[in-house]
Structure 1
Amino acid sequence: MTAAITDQARLDLPGHWPAALGPQTLAGLDLPTPFLAVDLDTVVDRYTAFAAAIPGVSTFYAMKCNPSADILGTLAALGSGFEVASIGELRMLQEIGVDPAEVLYSNPIKPPAAIVEARKAGLWRFSFDSEGELHKLAQLAPGAAVYIRLRVDDSTSSFPLSRKFGAEAHEARALLLLARQLGLRPYGVTFHVGSQCGTTSAWRQAIAAAGALMAALAADGIHLEMLDLGGGFPARYVERVPSLEQIAGAIVPALDELLPYRPRLLAAEPGRHLVAESAVMVASVLGREVRAGENWLYLDIGAYHGMMETQQTVQQWRFPLWTSRTDHALVPHLPFTVTGPSCDSSDTMFYGVNLPSTVDVGDRLYIGSAGAYTLSYASHFNGFPPPEPVFVGGVAPSAHLPAARVGGS
């Protein structure tokens, strides 16, 4: 067995771990695993801090990262707007009473039937980044307001997006002129600096590109009404990331210095930043083995049941971990490979993570910062169930899992 790591015998719970979901609280939740414990008060705090940090910028939650009804209801009660990527997401918002007229449809490529349904429901603002999408919108949503997605540098993000979406700067002006020619309403410009962006300068550079486009269009008689800063606002996992204050310190002066005029609507589409740190994934240890000198832990949750981001980054995506062991911070720790329950060998999440040497079958592993892109990605692969969400705190009553709710008002 790999030697114990004795210099890590005393550990502290990460400071960004939700206070309402400490190990003792989680140990008291007598629920079958896997489940995702979500502290809605943390969501409230994150939203409030985001709105205060960048004055004058309206928040449109990117619901794809966690579309739980409790989270949507909590954010709606706070006055948040929403950004959708599909008609299915718009329907979820309609179910909780959100007016489609207040929603942004920011997926640049949309199914024709989705455009028709969204327009009929009252949604009037659509993103695009190509001539083909403009012709589609002109035919199916005549007169709609359209905003172009610019391709910007997203090389400092964990999940770059520019290879799939975004018009080049030299194409954007012509596309918005074409939009006007087709009877659409040239409404705005947006960009995305990549999910989990690691540098504040990315926003300044993107705002500069948007400002240049706005200035060029002004000469054509087009005055854009919206600048959408997109997403990419990071959450804290294990590695440090730019703080919200640091990001705001780059964005706020850039808006003053790099735009030819201030659009009527300044928007942002945070997702991960608002919800990731609000939740803890709770899984049970199914087996502990030694293979080729490595310690292995087998859990009842894996990449295909909510932890897909560990696969997307070739096992470089690290989450804060804790266990249900009462001796967690007292005993020596060992390096473990942590894998999922399926028969797929690639269903492995963590390599060389230090956990108590005493951890064994029946113990629980707590995976922190698990509120984003876990429920969204979870499947029933190999017949194993995805995690059930359970909510504490918050102001929105549960509409779909009353039995699983353990707190709040």
Structure 2
Amino acid sequence: MHSSNKTLVLQDNTNIYDVIEKIVENPNYDEPFFICDIDQLIWNVENWKRLMPRVEIFYAVKCNYNREVLETFAALDLGFDCATMDEISKIIALDVSPNKIVFSNPTKIIEHLEYAKQTGVRAMTFDNEEELYKIKKHYPEAELLLRIRCDDESAKYVLGKKFGVLPGSEALDLLRLAKQLELTIIGVHFHVGSGCSDYYAYYKALCAAKGVFDAAIELGFPVKLIDIGGGYPGETINPIDKIAETTNAGLLDNFPDLSVKIIAEPGKYCCNTPYKLVTQIHSKKIVIDENNKKIRMYYVDVNVYNSLFSVLFGEYYKFRPVCENKNAQLHPCIIWGSTSDVNDKITDKFDYLPDLNIGDWLIVEETGAYTVSISCEYNGLSMPKSCAVISKKNWSFLTTKAPKPIRKEKFTFSLNDFLKDRDQPAIFRKIYF
């Protein structure tokens, strides 16, 4: 592994696309790679604070746990939503305070629960009786958030099918049991679903959370926290502005007391747009479809298993050439991944690209969410390596003026370092801070 974690600091008047072109122009370089724009990571956080100044980010680590992401968010003094022992350990290793971590898995493996106790992570969620008995036995000092079910039924992934208790009598029964067990309830948690599209889902969930919160107060619990979960979109064409408006309205109507702390667990919103995946065409074939039209089939050196797993669940990714000719004629095409699996189809013939050749490079925009964190080496194909870029201005900010500045020594590297670093397995060749 690298002896230090590194990133490339951009020179003036240079951007991420300049770096991509420089890499692919090298005749000796032929591997796919992710590239992260740390400026965009920082902008996403600033935009969130502008839109929802009362809501603190506890970044969902499961979405993307590359070090460039975690280091940046730790420097910005964000909180972290962790679901497992491994995720907690990654954050603790960054010298993040345990009180900046929420163990937000309502059904915890006992070993993981005991690790949370060992590391001092006290805040955690639950949604059933057996979990309360487990916590009483293994970590009675924990500070609990009751997870209620308030689903956006239009979400891509309705999490209430697996987690959460209805916010009426079922929630009240759990509060009463926690009281009998002499456990501590500090707040209410909900998650309206991943890929939320209903602007008002958060407002309705906050109304439901208010009832549970008040019931906990009546039982004498020191409630002080509302965790509004994740589900925020992370695409440029689908901004969070409208959801932010209804969330702010829900907070004002239900929790006007500013002493109540509000946190959220965005994942995709934070890290999707900063990433691009760069891949090369290694094979090409032209076929005739049922309408007697020519379809170009391009085979690239990434696949749904090592980098674009969400394709299997309906996610759509848009490809474009690195060297793009705006006036080129477009043709229907299918893009296939690099495995032997027939399900490894990344796009369909409704996509249009100019006529391309073997060796041409493509960029896939907005690939930071649930890509590098969900991958395997099917067919023995490793995941793409990763690098990160940052402007001089933001590098100076992160190393001198950020809430928790990053240490400066031995962080920068040259493009030549990236291009020639081929002696380790791909998973160990990530270029980090």
TM-score grouping bracket, smaller chain normalisation: 0.7 to 0.9
1:91-170 equivalences in 2 (<5 Å)? 91-170=89-168
User: Distance between the aligned counterparts of 1:198 and 1:324, measured in 2?
Assistant: 31
Aligned to 2:195: 196
Report whether the alignment pairs 1:21 with 2:52: no
Alpha-carbon distance, 1:195 to partner: 1.4
Any idea what the Cα deviations from partners look like across 1:339-386, whole Å, max 9, x if unmatched?
111111111111124343321211111110001111001211111110
* 1:127/1:263 CA distance change after superposition, 3 Å: farther
Q: What amino acid sits opposite 1:142 in the alignment?
A: P
User: Distance between the aligned counterparts of 1:244 and 1:64, measured in 2?
Assistant: 20
1:6-405 equivalences in 2 (<5 Å)? 20-22=15-17, 24-29=18-23, 30=26, 31-170=29-168, 171-236=170-235, 240-241=237-238, 243-259=239-255, 264-293=260-289, 294-313=295-314, 317-327=315-325, 329-393=326-390, 394=395, 395=398, 403-404=417-418
Kept in 2, the 8 Å contact 1:62–1:270? The answer is yes
- Report the RMSD for the aligned CA atoms in angstroms: 2.4
Alpha-carbon distance, 1:253 to partner: 1.6
* 1:162/1:58 CA distance change after superposition, 3 Å: same
Kept in 1, the 8 Å contact 2:331–2:355? The answer is no
* Percent of matched pairs sharing the same residue: 27
User: Distance between the aligned counterparts of 1:321 and 1:103, measured in 2?
Assistant: 36
Any idea what the Cα deviations from partners look like across 1:33-56, whole Å, max 9, x if unmatched?
221010011000101111222122
Aligned to 1:15: none
User: Distance between the aligned counterparts of 1:254 and 1:399, measured in 2?
Assistant: 46
Does 104-113 or 47-56 show the bigger shift?
47-56
* 1:278/1:332 CA distance change after superposition, 3 Å: same
User: Distance between the aligned counterparts of 1:145 and 1:384, measured in 2?
Assistant: 43
User: Distance between the aligned counterparts of 2:71 and 2:273, measured in 1?
Assistant: 18
* 1:302/1:249 CA distance change after superposition, 3 Å: same
User: Distance between the aligned counterparts of 2:249 and 2:410, measured in 1?
Assistant: 42
SS where residue 132 of structure 1 aligns? helix
Q: What amino acid sits opposite 2:20 in the alignment?
A: L
SS where residue 120 of structure 1 aligns? helix
Alpha-carbon distance, 1:389 to partner: 1.1
Q: What amino acid sits opposite 2:322 in the alignment?
A: S
Q: What amino acid sits opposite 1:215 in the alignment?
A: D
Aligned to 1:11: none
Kept in 1, the 8 Å contact 2:210–2:255? The answer is yes
* 1:43/1:399 CA distance change after superposition, 3 Å: farther
Does 213-222 or 154-163 show the bigger shift?
213-222
Does 189-198 or 26-35 show the bigger shift?
26-35
Alpha-carbon distance, 1:82 to partner: 0.7
User: Distance between the aligned counterparts of 1:249 and 1:292, measured in 2?
Assistant: 49
Any idea what the Cα deviations from partners look like across 1:260-313, whole Å, max 9, x if unmatched?
855532101111101100010011111111245332111111110111111112
User: What TM-score, normalized by structure 2, do the two folds share?
Assistant: 0.83
* 1:318/1:83 CA distance change after superposition, 3 Å: same
User: Distance between the aligned counterparts of 1:232 and 1:34, measured in 2?
Assistant: 29
User: Distance between the aligned counterparts of 1:194 and 1:385, measured in 2?
Assistant: 31
Q: What amino acid sits opposite 2:384 in the alignment?
A: P
Alpha-carbon distance, 1:227 to partner: 0.2
Ranges in structure 2 where 5+ consecutive residues have no aligned partner: 1-13, 290-294, 399-405, 419-428
Does 245-254 or 373-382 show the bigger shift?
245-254
Alpha-carbon distance, 1:93 to partner: 1.1
Kept in 2, the 8 Å contact 1:127–1:149? The answer is yes
SS where residue 386 of structure 2 aligns? strand
User: What TM-score, normalized by structure 1, do the two folds share?
Assistant: 0.87
User: Distance between the aligned counterparts of 1:374 and 1:308, measured in 2?
Assistant: 6
* 1:407/1:67 CA distance change after superposition, 3 Å: closer
Say how many residue pairs are matched.
Answer: 383
Kept in 1, the 8 Å contact 2:68–2:432? The answer is no
Ranges in structure 1 where 5+ consecutive residues have no aligned partner: 1-18
Does 392-401 or 158-167 show the bigger shift?
392-401
Aligned to 1:12: none
